[in-house]
């Protein structure tokens, strides 16, 4: 089995000029296979359709919560409205300011085991799939890979639905 056999075809993407607010909205309404709505990360493509980055919910949280707050361990600190105020401050910042630019990818022809290895080795949740022209044509989500493996392990047996 190859990457192209398990990938979710690319339906939506972000641009470097999208704002954080528009990125959150796109991620919230983006549909996936099996009726799932919402994604936890999206690829970022430039005007030529080239992959320039990836934005995940962790990148968004990192944009909202400054690193100095994470380091000082202010978990017990409370200030009503602080998180909301910080979110408002970054709402109009560009995706290009906080996207991950070192994105691990695979070609459509990559064997499924290579995809699994990359997801595990790099602790990834999604793996963009590229065609021969190096354009993103789909994404393999760790969840989809997991369910493919589970369906083989429990072939013919009922799996408890989520």
Per-residue pLDDT 10s for the chain (162 aa) are 899 999 999 989 999 999 999 999 999 888 665 556 678 899 999 999 999 999 998 898 888 876 555 545 555 555 567 777 878 888 888 999 999 999 999 999 999 999 999 999 999 999 999 999 999 999 999 988 888 888 777 776 665 555
Closest CA to 13 of 57, 56, 45: 45
- Residue-wise pLDDT for 53-87, tens only, equals 999 988 988 888 765 555 455 555 555 677 778 78
Question: Which residues does 118 contact at the CB level (< 8 Å), separation at least 6?
Answer: 104, 106, 124, 127
- As a whole number of angstroms, the distance between CA 19 and CA 29 comes to 16
Token pair 């909205």 is found at 25
Continuous H helices in 79-130: 82-90, 112-121
Sign of CA dihedral 143, 38, 94, 70: negative
Closest CA to 44 of 89, 90, 10: 10
pTM of the model: 0.80
- What residues does 126 pair with on adjacent strands? 141
- What is the model's pLDDT at position 94? 93
Structure tokens at 128: 């963009």
Which of 3.10.580.10, 3.30.200.20, 3.40.50.360, 3.90.1150.10 would CATH assign to domain 3-153?
3.10.580.10
Strands laid side by side in the 126-130 sheet: 8-9, 136-141, 126-130, 106-107
Structure tokens at 20: 């954080």
Domain ranges (residues) in the chain? 3-153
- What is the model's pLDDT at position 110? 96
């Amino acid at each position: 089995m190859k990457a192209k056999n398990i990938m979710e075809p690319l339906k939506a993407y972000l641009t470097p000029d999208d704002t954080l607010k528009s990125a959150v909205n796109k991620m919230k309404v983006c549909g996936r296979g099996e009726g799932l709505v919402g994604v936890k990360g999206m690829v970022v493509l430039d005007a030529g359709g080239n992959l320039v980055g990836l934005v995940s919910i962790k990148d968004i949280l990192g944009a909202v919560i400054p690193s100095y707050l994470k380091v000082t361990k202010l978990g017990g600190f409370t200030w009503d409205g602080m998180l909301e105020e910080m979110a408002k401050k970054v709402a109009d910042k560009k995706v290009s300011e906080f996207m991950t630019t070192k994105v691990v990818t695979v070609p459509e022809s990559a064997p499924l085991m290579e995809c699994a290895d990359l997801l595990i080795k790099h602790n990834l949740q999604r793996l963009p799939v590229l065609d021969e022209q190096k354009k993103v044509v789909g994404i393999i989500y760790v969840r989809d890979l997991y369910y493919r493996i589970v369906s083989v392990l429990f072939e013919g047996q009922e799996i408890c639905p989520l």
